Chain A
């Protein structure tokens, strides 16, 4: 027993403290934790078993529309999601660290990440053929392909956020770490990861929200002659569309609702609540989040044991790591050698880039007439028009509503998690309902398919505006009242500038998401009815399902170009302006 508690004993001799005895009495939280942990084990074991099965076995047991199977499908969908998230985290920790530590690596990795981020995620579905060839005849290949698709929707922004955090570690913390001669491993876990945590957690949440959309889309995909149908909510929906069963679609939506609710409670909430612990200083306006699951993790000794295992593993790394060596004096000669390595490195990069450009050029030029390239750009502008109009519409609707909600703290506390939840809900599950409506009412698909693109992403605008409005300080609001600022003047001078930086953040996410969704939204099926809206998304979707590799690559490249140019010319300047001018101090 410690000296300090010994002193406590002396103070109240009649009631000795038997601290150690209480250690083994399990608490209420332990029971909950026990059930959850072993429930998870059981479920993982059963689901993982299916992974090793053969494709033939999978085909022998086709997806059934019977709602009894739905919980099982939902569980498999959720598991894919989890695996992809873990993979994204591993990618983040390695890729971003490498980019942050090496100037040379950064010169390639950072722009690469920027491009990868703008590639439409379903464009990655052309990799399915590659993954299937890895494990011929096994389900694992198809699973890998689906998981990789979800991974591509999650990893890039997480890596970006981590890279950014690593680059912006405050000087005094960096100096302290160097003064104490922390090894790279210890520095990573004691300084870099905790410091990057709040931003990373936020981005993980964003990634999860996007991920649901693609996990559902990835479960039933055909590329040319290769068709993958993995048991899950996504393939269930695909079958329901084929069979025109609105009831089955209703069941799927309900199942997904429950799955996301569970994820929200067990992962999202604890994550956001724990993000506060890593913050250097309390930021104003962020609502403190509470989570029962986090309380459970903190209070439960069982999970505490797991945590301490993880801690010891890292600790082992500290101990095994090389003892700090005295820094060798910087050699004068190394500068010249460094320049030589630079030359070699950049030449190699240039060579690979030239090779890549030649391959793309050859692939596209050999198969596609130049006129079609122009046509594809035209389709790009059509889709751009849709994105712009929809973002404008969503802004006009949600900004005023978001401001009104954000100014009323109690309402904001209720609405914000709902908006966050809605953003996570894979709206592609709702598409069939809209599409069946379009078919029945004989509406023009060129117009009426468009709203599907923003159905899921509009919530980002809403909840960012809510956060922005609720972070306006009480004093600033009082000034407005005291000076009698009302009406349009109030919107122009106070409300709109206050939410502007938050709005831009939301709009960037919404716009990116809409481009991605266009591949799913511009083409829709209802039974045998095939609806299309002319646009770049439709072009890519058609090329992919026809297995037309060159046209798929062309479509994806053009869309990436649109997204990159839009980001550079519109969003980034807007964002920087917002950061500079509108942020409070």
Chain B
């Protein structure tokens, strides 16, 4: 696309080099969230950041906005390092983040008031932005009176009214229903294409692959733990782009392949399907309900897939967003019920056996795989078996996990293992007493 070609000749608006971000864990160790990230943003382009949850995309966005400082590396905005909230970079939030006590107009005016502009100009520019974004007539409404779509329009108007050079968008459409999200996306792209938006470039964080392909000129794919850019995909389809266009489909497929690719260095002998970096008990798990796991296995086993499915296709068929599908596919792979590679998911023998079994047998099979292939589950079971009381407090395992991951991740991982353990009847958990045990209520 010519915008892309044009962009390459101009100096970058934003240049992030060697950005690292780590947090200190309670035991004093460092937890690396972003590792050596490089990113440039040129005038006239929309760049997408794609990655699974926990890949540090949102952290990167906050570093760029100057809301947080990198541990090392620099973020240059128009040639000078970002230190503190930068004027000229504004942000749209997934949660809309509107002040509930301010009207639509007051919310939009806030950024201009902070600039100490004359009142008449504040009003004029705010009304223009409200007009542009299609909020006419809602000026005096409070956010709670608006639907989700209208709320996010206020979010856009508020970000645009300060005429920023860069618009940062943190999953701006993911809290909206499918139809509303599409309308808002198209409206945004129309305004952007017509040059009506007072911005020069856009950085979009998303987990919706189709959305990324639809909107962006360039995609950066992030890996998890720690977050780093693993590949860059230019998208040179002309706008407007049709999701039914074969070239569009091919790009979506390519993104899926990239996102399911094994990180380099894990193809070594014996490491097959060890996609998880260090599958010790310190593996952070993302919560996927056993219902979703069963549903996915069954869907893949049935026609037309018969045990092997294209991820984009099954995502569409099951109405699953990428941030739901990937963790589920990962979990099945971890349990050796499926293998995920090249944008495909393929059931293993065990996976196929699972689909043929009755409820009790399924649980039995699940338990065996859980205790064999998920080290944390095996560890919990071993501790319970060894103790004479056959009970152990949750805090014991929580403390262990905290050596490997942040508090939040440890909590999530335990919640996941509890849910799987309960389904498998491998161990019981009493949430009131916060105790693991081997007893199951009659």
Contact = CB atoms under 8 A, between A and B. Distances in A.
Check if A and B associate: yes
Given A484-B114, A581-B142, A299 B433 contact: yes
Given A475-B95, A497-B101, A483 B425 contact: no
A80 to B, nearest CB: 32
Nearest to A15: B385
Interface string B96-129: 0101111000100011011100000000000000
Given A277-B432, A476-B97, A489 B367 contact: no
Contact of B99 (A299, A486, A493): A493
A484 B115 contact: yes
Contact of A493 (B113, B390, B426): B113
Could you say which of A12, A295, A483 has the most chain B C-beta atoms within 10 Å of its C-beta?
A: A483
Interface string B59-100: 000100111000000000000000001010111010101011
Contacts of B66: 481
A17 B97 contact: no
Report whether over half of chain B's contact residues are helix, strand or loop; otherwise say mixed: loop
B144 interface: yes
Report whether over half of chain A's contact residues are helix, strand or loop; otherwise say mixed: helix
A19 interface: yes
Interface residues of A, number: 41
Nearest to A17: B438
A585 interface: yes
A334 interface: no
Nearest to A29: B433
Given A2-B441, A2-B442, A12-B385, A482 B95 contact: no
A481 B99 CA distance: 13
Contacts of B433: 298-299
Nearest to A481: B85
Contacts of A500: 101
A497 B435 contact: no
Nearest to A10: B364
Contact of B100 (A22, A482, A582): A582
B425 A493 contact: no
Contact of B85 (A17, A484, A494): A484
A22 B387 CA distance: 11
Nearest to B389: A22
B111 A484 contact: yes
Contacts of A375: none
A479 B426 CA distance: 46
A584 B102 CA distance: 11
Contacts of A479: 91, 93, 97, 99, 110, 158
A15 B385 CA distance: 7
Interface string A476-519: 10110111111001000110011010000000000000000000
A11 B367 contact: yes
A5 interface: yes
A256 to B, nearest CB: 33
Could you say which of B99, B142, B390 has the most chain A C-beta atoms within 10 Å of its C-beta?
A: B99
A345 to B, nearest CB: 41
B439 interface: yes
Nearest to A25: B389
A7 interface: yes
B162 interface: yes
B381 to A, nearest CB: 8
Interface in B137-165: 142-144, 158, 162
B2 interface: no
A417 to B, nearest CB: 21
A481 to B, nearest CB: 5
B359 interface: no
Nearest to A498: B101
Contacts of A486: 114
A583 to B, nearest CB: 7
A11 B378 CA distance: 13
Interface of B: 62, 65-67, 85, 87, 89-91, 93, 95, 97, 99-102, 106, 110-111, 113-115, 142-144, 158, 162, 360, 364, 367-368, 385, 388-391, 425-426, 432-435, 438-442
9 contacts: A11-B367, A295-B434, A473-B95, A478-B65, A479-B158, A482-B91, A484-B115, A493-B106, A581-B100
Given A295-B434, A478-B62, 15 more contacts: A1-B442, A4-B440, A4-B442, A15-B385, A18-B390, A19-B390, A22-B391, A484-B87, A484-B111, A485-B111, A497-B102, A581-B101, A581-B142, A584-B100, A585-B100
Interface of A: 1-2, 4-5, 7-8, 11-12, 15, 17-19, 22, 25, 27, 277, 295, 298-299, 473, 475-476, 478-479, 481-486, 489, 493-494, 497-498, 500, 581-585
